[in-house]
Amino acid sequence: MAILIDGKAVAAAVNEENARICAELTDRYGMPPGLAVVLVGDNPASQVYVASKVRKCGELGIYSEKIVLPNDTAQETLLDVIGRLNGDPRIHGILVQSPPPPQIDEEKIILAIDPKKDVDCFHPFNTGRLLQGDLTGNLPCTPYGVMKLLEHYRIPTAGKKAVVLGRSNIVGKPMMCLLSAKGTDATVTLCHSRTQDLAEELRRADLLVAAIGKPEFVRGDMVKEGAVVIDVGINRIPDASKPKGYRIVGDVAFDEVEPKAAAITPVPGGVGPMTIAMLMRNTVRSMERILR
């Protein structure tokens, strides 16, 4: 039986430490760390994500500012909001919920955020530092969460063959950087939809991180015996037996892969809880760096 990697439990431990750091910073500086979350439009999934982030801030003692703008908000209006937050001493982290409406140029929004307050680690300044192996600043929340899971479960990475499936700027590329960084020392292959002999590449992995955004794409015959499998995917598939008419699955066919894996993350309950926990970690650490 594979070890079931419990993201909820690890996230709870990380957030316990986040709350402790938050309390120490509040005592030291007379104010708590602050996170601003900006939502443009009424995307239901985005509303849920924003609400969960604001709620977690409240639980940990982090000051939060939730800014909701109409769906037809102009680019300049959003840039003005970001400019105000960049200059607000109460705010140490700024997050603009993705995806924005089509009239918003997301790249320009990312560039407008002060890199010191970029808790998503999307700004080119921060992604460039990551590519150079500088891990002292904010790190991308989901890959950072994956690294915490590997650390918590003492899963060895040095010299291991790691395969990252998916090349997004949010997960795939930064995951490659973190796994190959000094101290982690994995040998990383980055695969995507155009990779030749993809199944064979996946079968070579001692550690497989699936982040391709396709439900149950990784089947049992694509994974070698004893591999560690980290499933980043969150996909809805129709299921008439469920009250909501759908169920959530990952990018890995769990029932097929779990018997072969040494360790595996479930979906939900694996990587997902870690993303918000590491966002909170970035926020408290941003305050430390800014005020230091």
Report the chain's terminal Cα–Cα distance, integer Å: 47
Query: What are the two backbone dihedrals, phi and then psi, of residue 192, each rounded to the nearest 5 degrees?
Result: -155, -170
226 within 8 A of 262, measured Cβ to Cβ: yes
Distance, in Å, from the CA atom of 201 to the CA atom of 196, rounded to the nearest integer, reads 8
| Other C-beta atoms lying within 10 Å of the C-beta of residue 83 | 13
Q: Residue 131 corresponds to which tokens in the numbers above?
A: 């590519």
Distance, in Å, from the CA atom of 267 to the CA atom of 234, rounded to the nearest integer, reads 7
Long-range contacts of 22-25 (CB under 8 A, 24+ apart): 22/60, 22/61, 22/62, 22/284, 23/61, 25/284, 25/287, 25/288
Distance, in Å, from the CA atom of 131 to the CA atom of 133, rounded to the nearest integer, reads 5
Over the range 157-169, which residues count as b (16 or more CB within 10 Å of their CB) and which as e?
A: beebbbbbbbbbe
- Which residues in 250-290 belong to E strands, given as ranges? 263-264
Q: Residue 228 corresponds to which tokens in the numbers above?
A: 């560690």
DSSP assignment of 33-89 equals: -EEEEEEES--HHHHHHHHHHHHHHHHHT-EEEEEEE-TT--HHHHHHHHHHHHT-T
Active site residues: 53, 97, 120
Tell me which amino acid residue 136 is.
Answer: T
